Amino acid sequence: GAEEKVDDGLLAGGFESLEDMLEKYLPEEELGEARRLLHGLNQGKPVGAMPLREGAIEAKEMLREEGLDLDVKAFQFEAAEEELREPRKVIMGVIQNSVDVPTTEPFRVQKQALIDKIEKMINLAGESGVQVCCLQEAWNMPFAFCTREKKWSQFAEDVETGESMVKIKELARKWNMVIVSPILERDTKKCDQVWNTAVVVGHTGNIVGKHRKNHIPRVNDFNESTYYMEGDTGHPVFDTKYAKIGVNICYGRHHTLNWMGFGLNGAEIVFNPSATVGALSEPMWAIEGRNAAINNSCVTCPFSFHLPLVSPSLSHKRIRSTTSQKNNGNIGEILITTG
Q: Which positions are annotated as active-site residues? A: 137, 213, 250
Q: Which residues does residue 71 pair with via DSSP β-bridges, in sequence order?
A: 338
User: Cα-Cα-Cα-Cα dihedral of 263, 269, 270, 275, to 10°?
Assistant: 170
- Residue 305 contacts by C-beta under 8 Å, 6 or more apart in sequence? 96, 97, 98, 136, 275, 319, 320, 321, 322, 338
For residues 85 and 79, the answer to whether their CB atoms sit within 8 Å is: no
Compute the Cα dihedral for 6, 278, 103, 166 and give only its sign.
positive
CA distances from 252 to 54, 87, 218, 293 (A): 37, 32, 13, 15
Q: Which residues does residue 325 pair with via DSSP β-bridges, in sequence order?
A: 300
For residues 72 and 52, the answer to whether their CB atoms sit within 8 Å is: yes
For residues 295 and 260, the answer to whether their CB atoms sit within 8 Å is: yes
Spatial CA neighbour of 227 closest among 181, 174, 184: 184
